[in-house]
Amino acid sequence: MITLNKISKSFGSRILFDDVTITFNAGNRYGLTGPNGSGKTTLLKIIMGFEEPTSGTVTLPDRVGILRQNIEAYRNEKVLDVVIMGNKRLWDALKERDSLYEVEMSDDVGMRLGEIEGIIAEEDGYSADSNAEEFLMGMGFPHEYLKETMHAIPLDMQFRVLLCQALFGAPQALLLDEPTNHLDLESIGWLEKFLCNYKGTLVVISHDRHFLNSITTHIADIDYETIIIYPGNYDSMVTAKTSVRDRAESESKSKEKKIAQLREFVSRFGAGTRASQVQSRVREMNRLQPQELKKSNIQRPYIRFIPNDKAPGKIVLKVENITKTYDDKVVIDHYSMEITRGDKIGIIGNNGRGKTTLLKMLAQALAPDSGMVELGHQVLIGYFPQNHAELVEKSGDRNAFDWLKERRPGIYDQDIRSVMGKMLFGGDDAFKPVSTLSGGETARLILAGILLAEHNVLILDEPNNHLDLEAVSALAWGLEEYKGTAIVASHDRDLIDTMAKKIIAFEADGIHLFDGPLEEYLIRKKVQV
């Protein structure tokens, strides 16, 4: 188990959580939730020992699996070695054995080698390579990368190696910060199955609602300057938390109404003959004084995409025999399709198979090597790139307000401020330098730019990356209600489930268009397998 005893953390006058004592029990799987900036990652770093609390202590079991983010530290290490490093006792024994084999043999060296071989046997070290491979294969790791060093493989695969490192070696506790980042639906499914069978203590941060609902037995929610543990998954927590807050607000209003009635009685009869009754009312007023309800950290953006008044033609995008190659690798090969007015399309598939390439070509941001992408009559595109830097140059002193104004010259300042408020850029935040914006703020700024722009076709590439759960839910609702055409690539199953009526799936044998929602596609695929 993991125990937090009187943990507090603040930055200056800002309190994240104060005097918190909680226990994460063995056998339970806890989702750590709260809006961006509430302190989720800070708390996880405190538990990991990477950051000091303002006060309090943390008690951990001996073997803890941690999802590390410092890829650069492993750049010259072999892939399998990085995974095995997840079992520190085994890895230290293997390294010591290698070093002892290089020195002159003696009785002491021989005795120590015997002890080390015992440790390796206890830790199942003779099967370490095959066990590490099994984790990597579950993550959809290409077999040809197994013997490579880390710097020789793609970045998303390096993150998968570090995730396997955290899972390796039967840890008693797992601490995972955004483990589904860089994973596709298949590897997320494998991870969900693994975690649901995990017998230790799990504490995980994720902005993937479906993932949290699938794996968690409890939610530890950071809000109101404290941490409250709710039984059940994420949706259960939202229901319970809303109910508790509604009840508290109702009780507070009821008390205020009663106090007002008592105050009126005291005011009318305070100087009269009902002194004892007045004193009784005063005592009751003191007893009823409601506790001040702390303000929630949760903020929900309001996302409503309104298409341009000019309706496009029936065919909004026509793709004819397009091909795209990078470094002699064919990513898209003679692909054709038509997207019709009003289509809601979700794009899924493993990383590296061409989803972003296709979206860039649809958005006219990239030309195919051959073939043609033709825009339909009166089509106006709102584009959200996976790489924010394609739209938001994070240099100079330009602020968020000015960036939006440049996106739509001639628009009234009041309209810009209105949209910024809906996207949680209130007050001085509207004038934050673009160079200082976080990933989540940059994503919301790009979405604000789309809200202000004229469009009737939306092309969004991983728009949920960096957004918190509340913002992703708002985005899903906005896309579901959109009256235009939407094409969205995402590994967030709930987002695609909510908005998509068709699926474009990038599979190993090519690109497939499925006329139906994601759930039906996955069922059909499972039956075929």
Q: Is the pLDDT of residue 529 over 50?
A: no
Among 278-292, 363-377, 457-471, 482-496, whose mean pLDDT is lowest? Answer: 278-292
Q: What is the pLDDT of residue 296?
A: 64
Model confidence at 46, in pLDDT bands (50, 70, 90)? Answer: very high
pTM value?
Answer: 0.83
Q: Which of 208, 225, 227, 200 is nearest to 217 (CA)?
A: 200
pLDDT band of residue 120 (cuts 50, 70, 90) is very high
Using alpha carbons only, what angle is made at residue 165 by residues 162 and 167, rounded to the nearest 5 degrees?
Answer: 120
What is the distance between the alpha carbons of residues 447 and 460, in angstroms, rounded to a whole number?
A: 10
Question: What pLDDT is attached to residue 328?
Answer: 85
Average pLDDT, the chain: 90
Query: Which residue from 138, 166, 165 is spatially nearest to 79, judged by alpha carbons?
Result: 165
- Crossing angle of helices 128-138 and 155-167, rounded to 10°: 120
Q: Find the range with the poorest average confidence among 171-175, 304-308, 391-395, 432-436.
A: 391-395
- Report the pLDDT averaged over residues 393-398: 77
Residue 131 has pLDDT above 50, yes or no: yes
Please write the tens of the pLDDT for every residue from 193-249.
999 999 999 999 999 999 999 999 999 998 888 899 999 999 999 888 887 766 766
Q: Are 416 and 296 in contact (CB under 8 A)?
A: no
pLDDT-based confidence at 152, cuts 50/70/90?
Answer: very high
**CA–CA separation, 190 and 350 (whole Å):** 13
Structure tokens at 221: 């929610």
Helix (H, G, I), strand (E, B) or coil at 121: helix
Distance CA 510, CA 529 (A): 16
Q: Does the CA dihedral 218-219-224-227 come out positive or negative? A: positive
Alpha helices in 270-385 (DSSP H): 275-288, 355-362
User: Quick check: 514 pLDDT over 90?
Assistant: yes
Ranges assigned E (strand) in 132-200: 173-177
Token pair listed for 504: 């474009």
For 473-493, what is the mean pLDDT? 95
Q: Is the pLDDT score of 155 beyond 80?
A: yes
pLDDT band at 259 (very low <50, low <70, confident <90, very high): confident
